[in-house]
Amino acid sequence: MMIFLVNLAQILLMILAAPMAVGIVKKMKARLQNRQGAGISQPYRDLSKLFGKELLLAENASWIFRAAPYIVFTSTVLAASVVPVIVVDSPFSWTADVIALAGFLAIGTFFTALAGMDVGTAFGGMGASREMTFAALAEPALLMSIFVLSVSAQSTNLSVMIHHILEAGLLLKPSIAFALIAMLMVSIVENGRIPVDNPGTHLEVTMIHEAMLLEYSGRHLALIEWATQIKLVLFATLIFDLFFPWGISGTVAVSALLIALGLWVFKLIVFFVLLVIMETGLAKMRLFEVPQFLSTAFFLALLGMFMHYILEVGAQ
Amino acid sequence: MALNLALGALAISLFAAATAVLLVGKDNVARFTVFGLLAVSAGLSIASGMVGLLTHASVALSLPVGLPWLPMHTRLDALGAFFLLTIGALLIAVSIYSIGYVREYTGRKGFASLGVFMGLFVAGMQGIVLADDAFTFMLFWELMSVSSYFFVTFEHEHEENRKAGYVYLIMAHVSGLLILGGFATLYASAGSFEFSSMRDATLSPFWSSVAFLLAAFGFGMKAGVVPMHVWLPEAHPVAPSNASALMSGIMIKVAIFGFIRVVWDLIGVDGFQWWWGTLILLAGSSSAVTGVLLALQQHDLKRLLAYHSVENIGIILIGLGLGMIFAYYGHPLLAALGLIAGLYHTINHALFKGLLFMGAGAVLHATGTRNMEEMGGLIHRMPMTAVVFLVACVSISALPPFNGFVSEWLTFQAALLAPQLEGSLIPMLIPFSAAMLALAGALAATCFVKVYGIVFLGQPRSPSAADAHEIDGWMKFGMAIPAVLCLLLGILPTLFIPLIDAVPQLLIHASLSSSVHAHGWLWLTPVSEARASYSAPIALFGMLVLGGLIYWLLHPRGQVVRRVHFWSCGNPHVNTRMQYTATSFAQPLRRIFSGIYQPVEHIEIDRSDHKLLTRSIHYEVHAQDMSWRFIYRPLLALSERVSVWVAKQHQRGVHAYLAYMFVTILVLLAFLL
C-alpha cells in the first residue's frame, strides 16, 4: 500500500515540479547570457494565466483540435507514471514497459501533429511535417539505445532494468557509452532544444514544435506547454534511471526516500547546467542537418547493440 | 462440427456467386442477396474458426468430388481455423459495407460480375485454408487468383486498369507456378498429393531447401514481399474499394497461410535449416522499411495504402522469421512467441487495413477522387467516417492502446530475446531487424499523420471535397465492426492470445498460454513477469479517467467557446492553396532518403512577359520504386531480347533448320548413350 502512495507521490512530484524545472533552466540560461531573467516560478505564473484566459477557437477547428491538448497531456502523464523517480519498484512500472513508454510519447506527438494540420494554415502543416519527420527518426534511435540496456538486463521493464544496473555495478561498458550518447542526442530532439529547435521563439521559419501550436490559446495552450515541461523532466529522469540510477531507493523507508529525492534534484540540476551550457554555446543547426544528427544517434545506438553482442555476450 | 460449419461457409460463398448469375439485371435485389449471403458465410467462418481454435481439433473429411483417383481432402486444424477466423472477421464487415458501397455500380454493365467473382474469390480463400491435399490447394488458389483479376479490371475502360490487371495476372501465375514447383518437390518424396503423407515424408536437406525456396518465393510474391511487390500498388488501388479491402486485408494473408502451411507444417519444424529463418527475417525487415518509405511518397490514397500492405507483410514476416530462427536453435517457447506475434499482426492488419480501404472507398465515394491533393476538411462533412478512419490510422501506427501496438510489442519482445542463441552470428542480425521494425513503425505514424491531416483535416482543396457527403448506414455499420475489433484486440490481448495459442501447439508443440496468463487477464506477460509486462486495460482506464478528470476540472460550464478567424501569425490572407499538401508534407523525407527514391524533379517557370515577372510555376516530382528500374525493366528487356532472338531463328533458311535437326539429334544421342 505504502509503495502505491510513494508511486503516486513521485508522479505528482514530476508533474508539479516540471514547470519549476523549466523555470530553473530559463533562469540559469539568462544568467549565463548576462541577463537578469524571470524568477524560477515564472512558468507557474504563465500556466495559471493561460488557464484563466478565455479560449479562442478557429472557425474551422474540429474536435481533433479540441481533444488533442487533453490527449497530449494525459499520454505524457501516463508516460511519466511509468518511470521510477525515487523508488525502484514502482508498481505502475508494471503497467507499461519502455516500449509502451515510447508508445505513449508517440501518441502525444501524433495528436500534436494532427492538431497542427487541423486548421489548415501553412505554418501548422509545416510544423507537423517537420515534427513527424524528426520523430520518425528519433523514435527508433530512442528505442535502440534503450534496447542496448534491455538485452543486457534481459528485460524491458524499467524497474527490472534499474535493478540489473544497480547490481552490475559501475557500467563502464562501451555499449552503454554508445547508448548514452545516442539517448542524449535523442532527448535534445524530442524536447526541441537548441541546437535542433528553439523552445524560446515563435515565428522563425525554422521552428518545428511551436509551429504546430500557433493556433492554440487559453487552457489548451496551457495543457500542451505543461506537457512539454513534463516531457523534459521525464527524459532527464529516464536517462538517470537507465545510466545513473545510483541513489534511487530500493525500499519505502522515509530516510532512503529523502536521500533518493535529494539525489534526483541534484542530478536534475547537473543535467540542466550541462543543457544550459550547451544551449548557450551552440548555434541552432540548419534544418536539414537534423536528420544527420538523428541518424548519427541511431547508428550509435545500433553500434552499441553490436558492441554488446561482440564484446560483452562472449566475455560473460 | 467445426469442419461442417466451414464447408457450409464455403458452399454459401459458391451459392452467392451462383445467385449473382441468376439475378443478372436485378441489380438492387442482387446487391442485398449476394452480399447478405456472403455475410452469412462470414458468420459461419467465424463460428467454425472459433470452434476449431477452442477445441484444438483436427478434423478431416474427404469429399467425393475432384479427380477419379484423388478425392478432395479437406481438414480443419488450428492453423486453418485461425485464418478462417481472420477471413470471417473482415468479410462480415466488408459484406455489410458492400451492400451500400456497390449501389453506385448498380445499373452499369457488368455489375453482376462483381457479385459472381466476389463469391468465387471468397470461396477460393476459404477453400485454401481447408485444403488437405496439394491438388485442392492449387485449385482454390487459382480460383482466388483468377477471380481477383476481375476486380482489378472491373473498370476496364481505363487503360491503366487493364495494364495493372495484366501485371497482376502475370505475377499471380508466376507465383502459382513456383508454389506448384514446391508441391512437386514435396510430392516427389511423399509419393502422394495428400498433405498427411507430405508431413510424414522426410526430405533430404537439399530438396527440403528447394521446396522452402520455391514456397518462400511463390507465396512471397503473392504476399507482396519486396522486391516482388510491384503488382500490389498497381492492382489494389484500381479494384473497387470493397474488393481492395478484401485483397489487401485477407488475400495476401492467405499467402502467409500458405507459407506457414508448407514450411512450418508440411516440411515441418524439424526440417528447418539455419538460413531459412534468416532469409525470412531479412525479407521481412526490408519489406517493412521499403514499403513504408514508398508509401510516404504516394498521393493516391489507395496506392499509399497498398504500399502499407507491403510494410505490414514485412512486419508479419519479421515475427515468423524470428520464430523460425528460435525453432531451429531449439527454443520452442520463443518460437511460439515469434509465431504468435506474426499471427497477431496478421489478424490486426486484416482488420485495420480492411477498414482503411473501406474508409478510402467512402472518401472516393464522397469526393470522386483518389488523389489526396484534392481532399481536405472531410472531418466536417464525413464525421463518422473520420472517427473510424482515425481508429485505423492510430492502430496501424502502432500506438497504444490499439491492436497494432500489441503485435509490434510482441515482435519486439521476441527480437529482444535473441541473446539466448549462443555460438552464432545470427543474433547480430536480430537487433538490426528490431531497428528496422522501430523505423518502420515510426515512419508509418508519420505517413498516417499525413494521410489523416491531408484528407480529413485542414480546409477543402477542391470543390468536390467541399461538397462531400457522409456515406449511408450500411457502409457506416460495415466500418464500425473492424474499428471496434481493433480496440478490443488492443486492450484484451490476454484473452485473444490463448486462442491463437492452438497454432503453435499444433505446429511446434509449444504453448504460451500459461505464461501469457500467469498474472490474470489484466497483464500481458509473454515470457515472464520479470521480462516485460504490459497492461492495456489499465493504460486505457488511466487515460480515460485522467483525461476525463482534466476536462471536467478545466471545462467551464455554461460558457460557449468563442469561434474566431484563425490567427496564422497575423496573416489573414491565407487561402486553401497555401496549405501543406501530401507532396510537401513528405518533402523532408524525400530529401533525407533521396538515395532510395531518386526523385525526378521537373520545374517550369513561365516568365513570358518579363524576365522578372513570374506568371506561373509548374513543379512535378516523382519518387521512383527502384525495383522497377533495377529488376523488372532489365528482366523485361531480357525477355524481349530472347523472344526477338527466337523469332529470328524461326526465319532462317532450310540449311539452318537442317543444322537445328543435327544438333537436336546430337543432344539426344548424348543423353541416350
Nearest-CA distance B353 → chain A (Å):
19
* pLDDT tens digits for range A35-54: 999 999 999 999 999 999 98
For residue A93, pLDDT over 90 is answered with: no
Q: Is the pTM of this model over 0.90?
A: yes
* Residues B336-373: b if buried by 16+ CB within 10 A, e if exposed: bbbbbbbbbbbbbbbbbbbbbbbbbbbbbbbbebbebe
Chain B residue closest in CA terms to A108: B399
pLDDT, mean over chain A: 90
* Residues B85-103: b if buried by 16+ CB within 10 A, e if exposed: bbbbbbbbbbbbbbbbbbb
* pLDDT tens digits for range B496-553: 999 999 999 999 988 887 777 777 777 888 877 778 888 999 999 999 999 999 999 9
Nearest-CA distance A209 → chain B (Å):
15
Cα dihedral B185, B190, B196, B200 in deg (nearest 10): -110
Contact A230, A223 (CB under 8 A): no
- Which residue of A78, A120, A288 is in closest CB contact with B591? A288
Nearest-CA distance A103 → chain B (Å):
6
Chain A residue closest in CA terms to B567: A215
Cβ atoms within 10 Å, residue B171: 21
Question: How does residue B570 score in pLDDT terms, banded at 50, 70 and 90?
Answer: confident
* ipTM summary value: 0.95
- The cell for B557 is 460550464
Largest CA distance in chain B: 101
Tell me whether A8 touches chain B (CB under 8 Å): no
State the SS3 of B126-145: HHHHHECEHHHHHHHHHHHH
Tell me whether A294 touches chain B (CB under 8 Å): no
Contacts of A109 in chain B (CB under 8 A): 445
Question: How does residue B581 score in pLDDT terms, banded at 50, 70 and 90?
Answer: very high
> Pick from B400, B523, B451, B391: which is nearest to A74 by CA?
B400
Question: Of the given ranges (A142-151, A197-206, B277-286), which has the lowest mean pLDDT?
Answer: A197-206
* Secondary structure (3-state) at B263: helix
Residue A316: per-residue pLDDT: 46
- Which residue of B533, B561, B586 is in closest CB contact with A94? B533
Interface test with B, best of A14, A54, A57, A118 (most B CBs within 10 A): A118
For residue A304, pLDDT over 60 is answered with: yes
* pLDDT tens digits for range B282-292: 999 999 999 99
Cβ of B546 within 8 Å of Cβ of A143? The answer is no
Nearest-CA distance B563 → chain A (Å):
5
